[in-house]
């Protein structure tokens, strides 16, 4: 199974900060990667798909980059609703696998 | 309204089985594959498997092989997840999600608690 190593696991930040989250795949997955945000008690919601395509309706402060094995999610200016947990997901090969998650907390 | 609505919370004893339903509405049910994902307390998201509603063919994560069964009922636009031989580690919120090059639609989640 492809392992997704996500970093950092926790991140303390303030409103307005620029935040970067990374995911590394144990083997190449082309651009078959999505980023999801999950707020407490809610289902995950899609932010980015195909590594760098912003999902419809998602604010432009979110961006994704990378291909092959290394990927990055960037939030250019953190907003109050962005304090949540973020996951990457590879859909290149079964079993699909998520990163361990990054919890973004208030500094 | 396009949505996935899941069945309610379940409390089960170790060794028992649980069946969770996910009812689709507002779109052509057989057009999109459905996946199941769970999140245990204090843990991250975990992919469990996928089912093709039109043919009922399923692929499961090896971790759950032998314990999980995913089925569909096209007459009611419902996908079911059955997990057997439950143990405490199966306590989690279970989500169904629709796939269309990404997960664009999720159920609200079903809490399954396994406790004696």
Quick: pLDDT tens for A51-106.
999 999 999 999 999 999 999 999 999 999 999 999 999 999 999 999 999 999 99
Question: Is the CB of residue A46 less than 8 Å away from at least one CB of chain B?
Answer: yes
Q: Do A43 and B46 touch (CB under 8 A)?
A: no
Give residue-wise pLDDT tens across range A27-57.
999 999 999 999 999 999 999 999 999 999 9
pLDDT in tens, B18-66: 999 999 999 999 999 999 999 999 999 999 999 999 877 999 999 999 9
Query: Do B103 and A46 make contact, defined as CB atoms within 8 angstroms?
Result: yes
Mean pLDDT score of chain A: 97
| CA separation, residue B108 to residues A36, B8, B83, B94 (Å) | 15, 10, 19, 9
Q: Which positions ≥6 away from B101 have C-beta within 8 Å?
A: A49, A50
Q: Which positions ≥6 away from A41 have C-beta within 8 Å?
A: none
Per-residue b or e along A11-32, where b marks 16 or more CB atoms closer than 10 Å to that residue's CB? bebeeeeebebbbbbeeebeeb
The verdict on a CB contact (< 8 Å) between A101 and B59 is no
| pLDDT more than 90, % of chain A | 100
Buried b (16+ CB within 10 A) or exposed e, B68-96: bbbebeeeebbbbbebeebeeebbbbbbb
| The pLDDT of residue B55 | 78
Q: Which helix (H) or strand (E) holds B20?
A: strand B18-25
Task: Give the pLDDT score at B56.
Answer: 78
Tokens of B84: 């057997």
Q: Which of A95, A97, A98 is the best residue to mutate to test the B interface, defined by the most B CB atoms within 10 Å of its own CB? A: A95
Q: Are strands A45-49 and A97-98 parallel, antiparallel or unpaired?
A: unpaired
Out of A43, A55, A98, closest to residue B46 by CB:
A98
In angstroms, the CA A38 to CA A29 distance is 23
Q: What are phi and psi of A11, to 5 degrees?
A: -150, 125
């Amino acid at each position: 199974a492809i392992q997704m190593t996500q970093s950092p696991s926790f991140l303390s930040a303030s409103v307005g900060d620029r935040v970067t989250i990374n995911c590394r795949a144990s083997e190449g997955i082309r651009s078959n990667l999505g980023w999801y945000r999950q707020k407490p008690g809610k289902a995950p919601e899609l932010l980015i798909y195909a590594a760098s395509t912003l999902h419809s309706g998602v604010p432009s402060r979110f961006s994704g980059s990378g291909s092959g094995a290394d990927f990055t999610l960037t939030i250019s200016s953190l907003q109050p609703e962005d304090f949540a947990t973020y996951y990457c997901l590879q859909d290149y090969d079964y079993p699909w696998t998520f990163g361990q998650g990054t919890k973004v907390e208030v500094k | 309204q396009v949505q996935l609505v899941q069945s309610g919370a379940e409390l089960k004893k170790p060794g028992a089985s649980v069946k969770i339903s996910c009812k689709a509405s507002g779109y052509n049910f057989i057009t999109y594959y459905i996946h199941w994902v769970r999140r245990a307390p204090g843990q991250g998201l975990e992919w469990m498997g996928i089912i093709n509603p039109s043919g009922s063919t399923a692929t499961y994560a090896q971790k759950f092989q032998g314990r999980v069964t995913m089925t569909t009922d096209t007459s009611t636009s419902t996908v079911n997840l059955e997990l057997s031989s439950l143990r405490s580690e199966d306590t989690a919120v279970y989500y169904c999600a629709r796939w269309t090059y990404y997960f664009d639609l999720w159920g609200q989640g079903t809490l399954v608690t396994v406790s004696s």
